[in-house]
Structures are given as C-alpha cells and as structure tokens.
A and B are shown apart, each in its own frame.
Chain A
C-alpha cells in the first residue's frame, strides 16, 4: 500500500503540472498576458497589498480596533489634555507623547505587515523524495509509520515533526499556524490584535510595539491624572474638573484597562526574551523539568544580556517566500498540498531526511499517531469553521486538533493563558494556489525549456 501511494503521487502531480492551462505563452510574449507575481499564487492564508510589498494574516483580527484605540486615545490626549499641560507644565509633554505615539504606530504596522518568517512549502519533488526515504527506511512489517524524528541539539533531544500541509519536517522552533496556514519559523504566537503571526522576523517589532505601548499608555495615564488633579485644585473640585474635560475620563478608562494587560504582556515577553524562549515553548512547557528528564532550553546562551541581544538585535533573515518575484509565464500551478492529497496520502510517515546510513545514526522516534485523520486535514476540503484554539495546539500535527483552549472571544493573551484565537479553516481545494519557487538556477531559466523537456515519467514536476 505504501508503494502504491507513493507512486500515485508522481503521475498525479505530474498530471496537474503538465496541463498547461491558460499560461501557454513562450517566454518572450509578455505583452498579451501580464506576468504574475508569486504572491498571487501563495498557498497560505495571507493577504497581500501594494503588489506584494505588504503582507498580513487573512483575518486582520482586531487590528483596526487596536489602531483605532491608539489613535483615539492619543488624539483625545493631544487635543484636550496637552493644551492645559503645556500651559501649566512644559511643552515637552506633547513632544514626548508624539514621539511615543509615532514609535508605537510604526512598530505596530511593521509587526502587522512583515513576513513573520514563513517557510515556503516543499515542492512536489522534494515531498516525493522525503517519502521515498520514508519508504526505504521502514521495513515491510513496520507499522504504523513514524511521523517525527529526533535530533540532538546541544546534547538535547529535540523532536522534529512532519508538517502535512507544508510537506516537510519542520525545523526546530518552527510551528504551523492554523490561522495563516503557514509554517512560521521561531513561532511565538498568532496575535489577533496585530492581525499577523509573531515569528522570527517580526518578534522584535512586536516587542518594541508592546514596550512602547506600555510607555505610551502609562505616560498618557500619568498626564491625565496630573491634568485632572491640577484642574481640580484650581477651581471647584474634581467634579467641575471632570465636567470641563470629559475626554480625560474616557482616556483614563481606556488607559486604566489597557495598562494591566499591556504591562503584563511586556513583562512576560521581557522574561521570554531574556531566556530565549517563545510563547509557544513556554506554554507547552517544552523545556521545563517537569517532563521527568533533565531538560533545559537548548537555544539559550545562559546569559541574559546575550539572549536579549540575540533575540532583539540579531540579524533578520530575509523573507523566504519571495513575494514579488515573477512566475515564469509557462507555469502551471505547482502545489504540494492539493496534488499530493488527492491520492489518499495516508503515508503519515516520518522519517529521516537522509539515507539509510543516516537513519541508523539518528534516533528515530516511532511515535505513532496513525489514528489521526489522514493526509492534511487542513487542506482537505473542509468548509470553513471557526475554531478556538490555543497557541500550543497549533504546534501539534495539523490534523484537526481538538478545539480546546480559551473560550474567550479574542482576548489578547492574558498572562496565564495562551492567545485564544478564532481560526477559520480554509478549504484548500478551492485554491490550487501554487507557490512556485524557481527551481532551477539562472542558467536554466535563460533557456527555459530546460526542465520542460523532461519526460513525464521521470518522477519530477517539471517547471512548466
């Protein structure tokens, strides 16, 4: 059965990729058909704006609310409180407020609009290669097939899980976000307030955002209290002061409720940064010692200062998904998910990446989770449904995990609970959105039919 499934992938994948549908233009004729950019065929659950320059999650969540609250509170502050305070105190108050406000907005937008570190999905031929190695690794009586593999990082055993949606073994610290339907490197959490995942590439923006927002809310709160106090000293007491400046009360209320959560969140993330952890790992307790064995975080540098520098000031890798690159004009969509799922992709086999020799050298975990629903449920033709799930659930294999977690609506992660999210599952079959990576180096593209001339029985998906 395994062999059968494996072989089924090739013709099917080849079948779809060989069908040249509408884009049957030779290279030169760009005039009659606009060349599409890769973001237009991106398989994940993301939105793109400005021709691929800006991206965010599919559900913008409460991002408009976040922006609105910040603008309204700051606007009220500058309009109603600042004039009084400038008269009584100093002109630096609106200056400081302005600087903080600008910083908050910019970091918020950067968090929302930056690629968090999405890993592009494996191309069909890669997926096929992995499967072949899985098939080769197990014996005939080897049932059920493993779906994880264990590696050693700094003498710590780390389990790598196979992602059925993205058709690859997730690198360490990578997790699949169910809302965005992408594997994200160093996945922290999906933040509905920001409308995007927080991962390797935008964590520092997120951290800067919440820290500057805590400063801003504290600052506004302090200034409003000062304003009301000064005003009430002057004339007729606090009631008159409130009547004179009702906006201040609104600001007080907003700031008061925000401060608790924002300050708490900042504190929590400061702890995470100092110990080089992600929210995901912290909530799941990946490195806590209660697992029975002596385990510590293998990624930490055991020095708070170093950890902070690494997390906040380390190099930002560029986006791996190349949103603005052009698709070759003769491309038929290449999808990993839809191609390889139509045959019952029952081979939930995890295996080593390498050859058999590698297999022996690595400890294979034969965690069997064959009871899970087959294939990639995320991409199975599921109608959209809402799921409440915690961050930790997104880490588990992408077959429909049980919807647990907070029943809260869209609370931004309170300190003790993970982010509760509303997820909409997207039926993947409606989008054969391929994400084509240029699979051949420049030379071959200059002579485009290089792989096109491939015989279809080669077991590859030629770049059509």
Chain B
C-alpha cells in the first residue's frame, strides 16, 4: 500500500479498492450490502460538526441528528462518535511519548519525519480501519455510510443516507 504521508487520500483509497476485491467470501455478506448501496440513490447527507468546548482538540458532537432518527439507534450512533473522539484524543494526547518524539525530531532537525511515521498518523490509520469496520457491520445494512473525517479536513463526520430499498422508502 503506498504510503501517502499525511491524510489518507485517494491513493490510499485506491489501494483499498484492490483489497476490497480480494476480500474473502466470508465477508461477502457484508460487502453485499455495500454493493447494494452502490445502486442506491443518495437521499441526503448529515454532517456532524466539531465540538470545540474542550478547546481545539478534535472532537465531534455526540448529539443525535434528527434525520437519522428513523434509521438507526441513538445509542449506536453515540457510541460510534464517542469512540472516534477517544481515538482522536489518543492521537493528540500529550504525554511522554509525544514529547519524546518531538524532542527527537528537534534534535535531528526534523528530518526524522522523512522516515518515521508519527504517532498521529498511526492513529489515523486505526481510525480509518474503525470507520471501515463500522460501515461494514452497522451502517451499510441500515443504508448509511460514514465518511472518514480526515477526508473532510477533520471538519465534519459526513453520514450519507441512502434510499432504503429494503425497507421500501425513505
């Protein structure tokens, strides 16, 4: 997988595309619902905005949007957002490790970033994986799709609502 320094962009996505195809048949049931989404029409999009009450750290509002009320469980949504918030907090955590990384980088005139992946980037990969997992297991069967916030500049969590053919209408 090509390492795109910084946020995972389309490059990363294109590599995932081939990974998707190689998925085992045991996951076919899950991908089946995603493939259904392919043909579904987008009904609307909901944007979960950032919560700045704790400062500039990356945190999203856990308030359940009204548009999703008919589609999914409030608890589930809050749990997803809360997990995301926790992951971002972990990425931005100030502690011994991040300071060590910073000092080491300073001593090497920051050239170490050329060869080493930062802690933040590692957590972002974890977040991407988590979102993928959530989409497969929970959101796609409900006709929803989460977009990784890093693809929106960490401004919003975009939830795309698809026309729910299985239930009949939206």
Answer yes or no: are A and B bound together in one complex. yes
Contact in complex: B155, A119 (CB < 8 Å): yes
Choice from B35, B52, B118, B148 contacting A171 with Cβ under 8 Å: B52
| Chain A, residue nearest B33 (CB) | A443
Contact A441 to B146, CB < 8 A, known contacts A106-B111, A326-B14: yes
Q: How many A-B residue pairs have CB under 8 A?
A: 214
Q: How far is A186 from B56 in the complex, measured between Cα atoms in Å?
A: 9
CA distance A267 to B99 in the complex (A): 23
A343 within 8 A of B: no
> Is B91 part of the binding interface, using a Cβ–Cβ cutoff of 8 Å?
yes
Asked if residues A312 and B10 are in contact (CB atoms below 8 Å), the reply is no
Instruction: Report A181 CB to chain B, min CB distance, Å.
Output: 16
Using Cβ atoms and an 8 Å threshold, which residues of chain B touch A249?
none
Collect the chain B residues with CB atoms within 8 Å of residue A120's CB. 152-153
A317 touches B120 (CB 8 A): yes
SS class of chain A's interface: helix, strand, loop or mixed?
A: loop
Classify chain B's interface size: 35 or more
Once the chains bind, are A312 and B44 in contact (CB under 8 Å)? no
A319 in contact with B13 (CB, 8 Å): no
Min CB gap A461→B, angstroms: 10
Contact B31 A443 (CB under 8 A): yes
Do A443 and B45 touch across chains, with their CB atoms under 8 A apart? no
Q: What's the minimum C-beta distance from B23 to chain A, rounded to whole angstroms?
A: 10
Asked if B84 is an interface residue, CB under 8 A from chain A, the answer is no
Which size class do A's interface residues fall under? 35 or more
Cross-chain contact B94 with A314 (CB below 8 angstroms):
yes
- Say yes or no: B135 contacts A171, CB within 8 Å: no
A130 to B12, CA, bound (A): 29
Task: Name A290-316 residues within 8 Å CB distance of B.
Answer: 298-299, 309-310, 312-316
A172 at the interface (CB under 8 A from B): yes
> What CA separation (Å) do A173 and B52 show in the bound complex?
11
Q: Tell me whether B109 is interfacial, beta carbon within 8 Å.
A: yes
* B169 sits at the interface (CB 8 A): no
Tell whether A327 is near chain B: CB-to-CB under 8 Å: yes
Which one, A115, A328, A441, contacts B148 given CB within 8 A?
A441
Given A107-B109, A309-B99, A442-B20, A318-B10 contact (CB < 8 Å): no
Would you list which residues of chain A between 397 and 412 have a CB under 8 Å from chain B? none
> Could you give 25 example pairs across A and B, Cβ below 8 Å?
A107-B110, A115-B6, A120-B152, A125-B45, A130-B47, A152-B53, A153-B53, A309-B102, A312-B102, A314-B94, A315-B94, A315-B98, A315-B120, A317-B120, A325-B10, A326-B9, A354-B63, A437-B153, A439-B151, A441-B131, A443-B20, A444-B38, A446-B20, A450-B37, A453-B39
8 new A-B contacts, CB < 8 A, other than A153-B52, A158-B52, A447-B35, are: A110-B110, A154-B54, A318-B6, A320-B6, A322-B8, A354-B61, A444-B37, A446-B21
